[in-house]
Amino acid sequence: MHPAYSVIVFTTLSGAGYGLLMTMAALALTRSIAPDTRLGVVGLGAAFVMIATGLLSSTAHLGRPLRAWRALSQWRTSWLSREGLASLVTFVPAGVFALGWIYFGTTSGIFGLTALLSIALALATVYCTAMIYQSLPTIRAWHQPIVTPIYCVLSLATGSLLAITVLRLFALERPVLVGISVALLVLAAVLKRIYWSTIDSAQRTYTVGAATGLGRFGDVRPLDPPHTQANYVMREMGYAIGRKHADKLRRITVWVGLLLPALLLAATLVMPPLPATTATLLAVVLCGFGVVTERWLFFAEAQHVVTLYYGAKSA
């Protein structure tokens, strides 16, 4: 599958933004931090900017971006529609929650309820994003039950890492959160390893013989293509460059993008404040790089069934 940059930016950036929102709301709910105005502006502000930038970036992928509002209508059947709706609805409790934190200086009572709703809706949005991919039986690498947990865990891992960074910029230390974030990063690495071994060993049950119905006559080979140059179907669904470097990129994702940030983060627990903050920032950069690589691979490695008509033997 063609890795559209707008979709990679959207899923990683807004994923991290929702993760940051969820972490901030969880910190407020558990009364782990006081609703400081400046902390609220920076932490929740960053979350909103990331979510909004991601959502706007996703419309760059559309042929007719000005019609994007129409995508909110088909939530009964379409995961894309559900995602759009969930992403917008999330702004309501999240906005009220931010108002309570920043303006009224409280996160309890009704604002506590909005914190809870923000977590639920943010998680639902990330889940819907992942379901857009997981629900497609035409792409084996996406049609795996592990896809939604990976999206959710990566969102929480990147978001909690950002939350720790924001707290440290305000000289706040929350070791429990650091522990949770390290665990989420390691969990993400483990889930990705499971994902790759699953898609590598998955039976490729769809064949060119079944796609054309000509398998009954023996081996089916393309003789003449219908067009001399690549068409939309080949450009969008026939992308194959990623598979060439897949092994190296997988190792980079797991070791440089997830486990090294986890190690750095764990090490900050025993560091003085300045090195700890520096190490956290480095972890953010590495993890950001890792998640973008992971998302790029998620698209580039995925083979679509339609490639059977264009020379693939099985899918």
Partner 1 sequence: MTALPPPSAKKLGLVIDLDTCVGCQACATSCKEWNTGGYSAPLSDFDPYGADPHGTWLNRVHSYETGDGDTSRTVHFPRSCLQCETPACVTVCPTGASYKRAEDGIVLVNPDTCIGCKLCSWACAYGAREYDYADGIMKKCTLCVDRIYNEHIPEEDRIPACVRACPTGARHFGDLGDIDSDVSRLVAARGGYDLLPEMGFKPVNKYLPPRPKRDASTSPLARSEMNASEPAHVTGSALEKLFAFADKLLTR
For the chain, the straight-line distance linking the first and the last C-alpha, in angstroms and rounded, comes to 13
The structure tokens listed for 230 are 């690549």
What SS3 state is found at 241? helix
Q: Which CB sits closer to partner 1, 118 or 129?
A: 129
Reported for 101-110, long-range contacts at CB under 8 A and 24+ positions apart, including other chains, are: 101/28, 101/35, 101/37, 101/40, 101/44, 102/35, 102/37, 102/40, 102/41, 102/44, 105/35, 105/37, 106/35, 107/28, 107/29, 107/31, 107/35
Q: Which CB sits closer to partner 1, 84 or 290?
A: 84
Contact letters for partner 1, residues 234-263 (x by CB under 8 A): --xx--------------------------
Contact letters for partner 1, residues 137-156 (x by CB under 8 A): xxx-----------------
Which residues are CB-neighbours of 115 under 8 A, at least 6 positions away? 25, 26, 28, 29, 93, 97, 107
Confirm or reject binding of residue 224 to partner 1 (CB under 8 A): yes
Positive/negative CA dihedral, 255, 259, 263, 264: positive
Subset of 186-215 contacting partner 1 (CB under 8 A): 205-206, 210-214
Q: How far is the CB of 3 from partner 1 (least distance, A)?
A: 13
Confirm or reject binding of residue 222 to partner 1 (CB under 8 A): yes
Contact letters for partner 1, residues 26-65 (x by CB under 8 A): -----------------------------------xxxxx
Q: How many residues bind partner 1 (CB under 8 A)?
A: 57
Q: How far is the CB of 61 from partner 1 (least distance, A)?
A: 7
CB count within 10 Å of CB 205 equals 9
Chain residues binding partner 1 by CB under 8 A are 1, 61-65, 67-68, 70-74, 76-81, 84, 132, 135-139, 205-206, 210-214, 216-233, 236-237, 304-306, 309
